[in-house]
Each structure stands twice: as C-alpha cells, then as structure tokens.
Structure 1
Amino acid sequence: MRFNTLNRCRAICLSAIVLVVGISASHSYASAEPTLTLKDAVAQTLERNPQLYQYTFATEMFEARKQIHSLRPAIELELEMENFAGTGDTQGFDGAETTLLLSSVIEMGGKRKARMSLVDARINKNHWEQQAATLDVLGQLAQLFIEGLATQANIDLANNSLNLSRSLFRAVQTRAKRGATSEAEVMRAQAAVTRAELQLAALTARLKRQKVLMVRFWGDTLPTFNRLNANLFEFGKNESFDQLYARIKTSPSLQVFASDARIKDAEVTLARASGRSDITWRAGVRRFEDTGDSALTAGLSMPLFATKRNRGEVKAALAERNAIQYARQDSLLRLHAKLFEAWSLRNQNMDAVMKMEDTAIPALEKAFQLTKKAYENGRYRYQDLVAAQEELLAAKQALIDAATNVQISQVLIEQLTGASLSQ
C-alpha cells in the first residue's frame, strides 16, 4: 500500500534522518549477502508504517469539516395555516388564512470566514503534527538501526575475542606439554574459550531480535536481510551549538505550538464574531380563503444583548491563547537543554573515538603482541597475557560504545532540529 498523503512531508523527513550523521552505506558486504541500508529502511517506513497513516484520516476529516463550514445558512420553506376547523365562521376551511414563507439567517460579524479560518488552522496543525510524528518514528528507527550496527561491531569484536582465546588456549597447551605451565592454566584458558563462545552466541541472538524489531516499522514480521550496511565509525560534520539551536525555532515540534496559537487566534475571532447578533428574515405570501385575497408578508428578528452574553467565551479563548505562548517558551527551554546535552555528548564521544583510534588501541595492540611473544618465550605469566588481552578488548569495546553514542546523539539532534547535519 502506498500512503501518498505522506508525500508533502517526505522532503523534510528524508533530509532529517536518511543521512544520519553520515551513516553511509558500506560496500564491504554489498555483493556477499542481502543487506539493509538506513535509506532503504526509511523509505519502507514512510511507505508502509501504520502509525503515520492515521494523519491521513485526520486530514480528510478536517477537509470535510471545512466544506461544511463554508456553506451559507440554509433557506427554509414554511407553510402556516390559521383559523380553520373551529366554530362559527371558522368552521371548515372557509375562514382559513394560509401563509407560505421563505426564511433564513444573515450571519453578521464574518462568522463563516471565522469558521473556515479555524478549520484551516487545524489542518495546518495536523500537517506539522504529521511531520513531528514522522520525525519521531524515523528517529526511533534510526536509533534501532544504530544499535544494530553496534551489535554487529560487537559480534566482530566477539569473533576477534574468540580467536584470541583459542590462540591463547593453544599457546597454553603447548607450554603445558613442555611442562612449562600447570594443568590449571590449561583449564582456565579452555574456560575462557567457552565464555567467548557464549558471548558471541548472545550477541548473535540480540542482532536477530533487533532485526525483527526493525522490520515492524514497515509492517513486516521476518527480516529479509542478513546484515546492516553502514559504517558505524563515519560521522558527519560538526556545527556550532548556536547554528543548531537556531534551527529548533523552525522545527516541526515548535511549529505545532505556532499552529496551536493560530487555532486559538481563530477561536478568539470566532468567539467575537459569535457576539454579533444574526438577523433572521422571513418573506412570503398569505391567502385569505373567505375573500380570496392574497397579501405579502415579511419580517426581521434578532436577539438582544448577544455581545454581553458572549463576553465569557471571548475571555476564555484569550486566556487559552496566552497560555500557548508560555507553553511554547517552556518547550523551547526544554528543547534547548536537550539539544545542548546531545551536542555536548556527541562532541565528547567524537573526541574519545579519535583518541582511542589514534593512540590507545594501537598502543594496546602492540603491548599485547609483545606480551604474547614474551609469554611464549616463558618470560611472562599467563595472568599477564590475559590482562593484556582484556585491556585490548576493553579498549575496542569502549571505541564501539563511543561511536554508538555519537550516532545516537546525532539522531536526537536531527529530531530536535528537523534537519540533517550532513545535508
């Protein structure tokens, strides 16, 4: 099913989420197995996500209401008969008076225009709510995609850990055969291999769960891909906090408040217009059966003191309108705090990734190789080799965690600002 009504918000949503922090497709696995890119996941979600389709029905409802409110007051046809079926001269229909009337209302104060303006404001709000909801859904999808990428990276790390544990186990066995180490160390090394195998199995199962959670965004139950195709360690450009904060003021979440304000303005206008009394008119023909004569009849009527009776409605509408302003200010302050937190965490973790890649991990890899060689030559203990291996694996795990935090922070930034840093 194609949800064509989502087309008008696709541009902002695609530009905001598809290129999440430069998470570009990796070509390493393009020909080896079925893969999924974030761009494909977003496109399928926009096409088939049931949660986003509800706004289509809301739009249709408001359009129907606008059509109703655009109608002018109906003209009524009225037939009256008097002085019949009585006594004396009014027996039967000889003395009857029959009147045929047309009547309607002349709306004063621009009520029809005010009603249509109110519906237009609600349509506008629904449009921005649709975009905000779409950004939220795509943000959840992008975060799950990133978590899946992190799990894939952890699986690669777990495979590395398993290979190291098996290599260490073989080295311990070799030394034990020479009598250079105890049987207890062989058992410990074997247990380390088992733990690494269990860790790999747990991560593989987690990725399967994450893939099932991911495909629900476009209404599927079973994934048709084997691997997520993206680079967890590729980030977009840095922007200043002031530049990002300026974008928040035009983001869909704040545009909803602006739409609320327009709705309240329209309600105030409608309340004031309702205070203007409408004029009811009547015009018709009256026939006198006893003489056979006819005469025209006409009349006007309007309620008195309608403005005074409507003051409460106007005051209530104005109070609600003023409350919107303070709610928007409060929301802007909360968005400012969230944006700064995400921006700060992104920069912090990007710095951590850079230092881990450039300094810590190369040093620990060299230290591990030196320790392993020294252990094989009998100069280091088993505990020294295990410690060097664990330090190296912990540093690589910290690198994955930091990169994941960068990407998730950027997803939040793009949700808040409604724009992609890489665009």
Structure 2
Amino acid sequence: MHRLVAAAPAVAMLAGLGSAAQSQSSTPATPIVGSLVLKEAVSPSSPSAESFGQPARTDPVPKRVSLVQAIDEAYARSPAVIAAQAEVTAAEARARQAGYRQNPELSVEVENFGGTGELKGLRSTETTVSLNQRLDLSGRRSARVAAARADIELQKLKLSVARADLASSVRQEFARAVAARERLELANENVDLTKELARIAGLLVDAGREPPLRAMRARSALAQAQAQQEAARADELAARTTLASLLGSTIPIEEAIHGPLDLSPSPIKLDRSLEVRVAAAEVAAAQAALQVQQAEGRFDPAVGAGVRHIRETGDVGLVAGLSVPLKIFDQNRGNIDAARAAVLAAEARQRTSLLGVTSRGRNAISAVQAAQRRLAALQKSALPEAREALRLAQRSWTEGRATLVELLDAQNAYLSTQAALTEAELALAVATAELGRIAAQ
C-alpha cells in the first residue's frame, strides 16, 4: 500500500549539521532520514503557478483527481491564495506609485491692484507666473522605492507560504482519503469473509457437526463486521468531503486517484525555509521603513522660476526663488525611534523563527523515522505472520482440527494487522508532508 506514502512529498536525503553527515538515498515509498538538517529531498513536481491577480476558478471540480491535480485545483480556488496574490499585486502598484517624483506647482501672483492712489484699479498691476519644484536631496524617493520593493518581496514570500500551507494540507487530506478508502475496502472484505463463515457455520450446525453456539458466534461476528463497514463508509465519505472542501467544492469528490508521481530532487535547507526567509524579509522591510522615516526628517528645498509682468511699463522680468523648510519643532524623531524599535523586533522574530524551524524540523524528522520503523516492522514480520496464521487456521478449520472461534480470532488478527499497516502508511505520509512543509523554500 505504497500509494499512501506517495501522497506526500517523500524525503530522499537528510544530513546532520557539519561536513561529517553522510547522504542517504531512498525511494518515494520508503523515505530515509538522517539527523538534523534537511539537505536534499524529493517531492512531487510543482504544479503550474497561477499568475498574480487571476480570479478564482469557478468551474466544477473534477470528480476523480490525482494528487497533482488536487493541488492545482486548490491553488486556483483557494481564497487564501487568491488574497495573497492580490496582496502581491497591491505591493507592485505601491512600488510604481513610490517611484513618482513630486508634482511641480504652478503659482500665479497678482500684485498692486484694487488699492488707492497710483495703485487704484489695474494700472499698476504686477503679475508673476512661476513654476516651483521640490528637490529630493534627502533621498525620500529612493527610500520609498526601496521600502516598496522590500514589501513586494515580503508579499511574494507570504504568497509562497500560503501555497505551501495549502499544498501540505491537500497532501495530508489526500492521503487520508486514500487511507479511508482502503479501510472501507478492508471492512468490505471482512464482511464478505464473516458472511461466508456464518453461512458455513449455519450449515454445520444444521448437520449436527457444530453446536448452535458456533452459529450464534458467527452471526455476532458478522453483525460487528457490518457495523464497522458502516462506520468505514461514513469515514470515507467524510474524507472525500474534506478533501473537496480544500478544492473549493461542497460536493465530495468521487475518488482520490493514487499512482506514481513524477518526483524530482531539489536541494532544501532548513535555514532557507519559507518561515526563515519571511522573517528575513520582514527585517529588510523594517530597515527600509526606517530609511523612509529618516529621510522624512531631513529638509528638502524647493526652487522656482517664473516671469513677472509690470502692466504700467509693459516690462517683463524673470524671477527665481528658493524655499527651505525649517526643522525646528517637528524633526520626525518619534517615527524614527518607532522604526528603529520595529527593526529590533523584526530581528528578534527572525532569530525566533530560525530556532522554531530547526526544532520543528528535528521533530518532523523523528516522526518520519518512527513511522518508517513502524511500517517496516509491519511489512516485514507482523503482516506475513498474521497472513500465515490465518492460512493455517483456515486449513485447520476445514480439516476439523480448529474451532470457528479460533478461525475468527486469526481472521481478526489478520484484519487488525492490515488496518495497522494502513494507519502506519498514513502516518508516514502525514509526517513526510509535514517535513516537506517545514523545509519548503
């Protein structure tokens, strides 16, 4: 039942910190992990990326989906991804706006009119038309552009986080849907076996070869198997419904198609995971915001040039001016101090993020290793032994050397081992999906 493990990004190589670690290869069905830091992994090939700002897909979800199809559908329909894409588009628009210079100012002044004596009426009017431009000597524009670009990078990383979170959830729910279907198949098989045993037990009781208690025991086992079948059917429907909800549909999908995935290796390091990169981008954005506030605290002079017309003489002359704001009261110190504090906070979060990712990475590696050991034990010994015990019990019961109770016990043990194998594969699929999410870049 390797299909469950294929439903999550299987880890191919993990190595410890430092040069002493050795690479370990594996197959998608049985990933092998090492000690501390993820150095290389294999995962399903990335589904096609959606363009920023593309509206959510509204056509019906396919009834039968593979894992890659499910992730593609989720990317195209998820409100969280759509919102993150819109935030990137907004950041790009803000960056364009930040690059514009301040608009020039056109001023018109009319002097010496409507007064008394020589200034009565419009005879002595002086009209000045000038154009004024604020100079960007303090670097405000460049600081705004740098801050806007830092915000673009941050929003793009947040989009990657949203997509990685969604892909991890889809992988886990896909694995649960496959596991639920296998539990249902196992429950159906159990019902078929116990139904046949109940039929044979009834015939033997009628023939006087078995006491009536044996038939009652067989019918009881059948009733229990049918109850488990109904529970498995409900769980399987719930799993398909949950998976469909991640794809933006309220109608359960009909089947999660298992099968081999197109796996390709890609180098991954925990210290370059998305969480760490987002924290670093937040530090860069905070530093850029500090540069903006520092630029706001400097003065920017404004220069102007124009033409003055003296109506009385008909003469025309050029005028020029320079204005400088005096930073006497407001020097923007409060905003600068707040921006510095924001940088310190972002740097602290960056350190916390690295510690958290390292810790979660170690725990995820341990979970994968434990799931591998459990799965290997079930595959190599527990399941073969249970299968052989059931075969011998069936043979002994046919030959009259074993009771119906002994056969039912052997059958239950075999089915329980099969169920444990399904749960072990599901645990490994979920653990590898979680590890892949932690190490996603």
TM over 0.5: yes
8 Å contact kept, 1:148–1:211: yes
How many residues were matched structurally?
387
Partner of 2:74: 45
How far apart are residue 177 of structure 1 and its match?
2.0
8 Å contact kept, 1:148–1:228: no
Aligned AA for 2:359? A
Q: Within 2, Cα distance between the matches of 1:112 and 1:307?
A: 23
8 Å contact kept, 2:279–2:353: no
The question of 1:300 aligning with 2:322 is answered yes
Which has the bigger relative contact order, CA under 8 A and spacing at least 6?
1
Which sits farther off after the overlay, 353-362 or 112-121?
353-362
Q: Within 2, Cα distance between the matches of 1:288 and 1:18?
A: 85
The question of 1:173 aligning with 2:195 is answered no
Q: Within 2, Cα distance between the matches of 1:206 and 1:43?
A: 25
* RMSD, aligned α-carbons: 3.0
How far apart are residue 408 of structure 1 and its match?
0.3
Partner of 1:393: 415
Q: Within 1, Cα distance between the matches of 2:151 and 2:256?
A: 43
1:248 to 270, 274, 280: 270
Partner of 1:356: 378
The question of 1:193 aligning with 2:182 is answered no
Secondary structure of the 1:300 match is strand
Partner of 2:238: 209
Q: Within 2, Cα distance between the matches of 1:307 and 1:392?
A: 84
Q: Within 2, Cα distance between the matches of 1:209 and 1:306?
A: 68
The question of 1:70 aligning with 2:99 is answered yes
8 Å contact kept, 2:174–2:256: no
Partner of 1:29: none
Secondary structure of the 2:159 match is helix
Report 1:5-404 matches (<5 A): 20-21=9-10, 22=28, 35-222=64-251, 225-230=254-259, 247-305=269-327, 309-404=331-426
How far apart are residue 381 of structure 1 and its match?
4.3
How far apart are residue 290 of structure 1 and its match?
3.5
Structure 1 segments of 4+ aligned residues over 6 angstroms from their partners: none
How far apart are residue 221 of structure 1 and its match?
4.4
Secondary structure of the 1:72 match is coil
Which sits farther off after the overlay, 190-199 or 378-387?
378-387
Cα–Cα, structure 1 residues 227 and 284, in superposed 2: closer, same or farther, change >3 Å? closer
8 Å contact kept, 2:244–2:251: yes
8 Å contact kept, 1:277–1:307: no
Aligned AA for 1:20? P
8 Å contact kept, 1:19–1:39: no
TM-score, normalisation: structure 2: 0.79
8 Å contact kept, 1:346–1:406: yes
Secondary structure of the 1:249 match is helix
Provide Cα deviations, 1:351-378, integer angstroms capped at 9, x if missing partner.
Answer: 1111111111221222233334444555
Aligned AA for 1:404? L
Provide Cα deviations, 1:178-202, integer angstroms capped at 9, x if missing partner.
Answer: 3343334323321321332232233
- Show structure 2 runs of 5+ residues with no match: 1-5, 11-27, 30-42, 45-62
8 Å contact kept, 1:66–1:120: yes
**Higher helix proportion:** 1
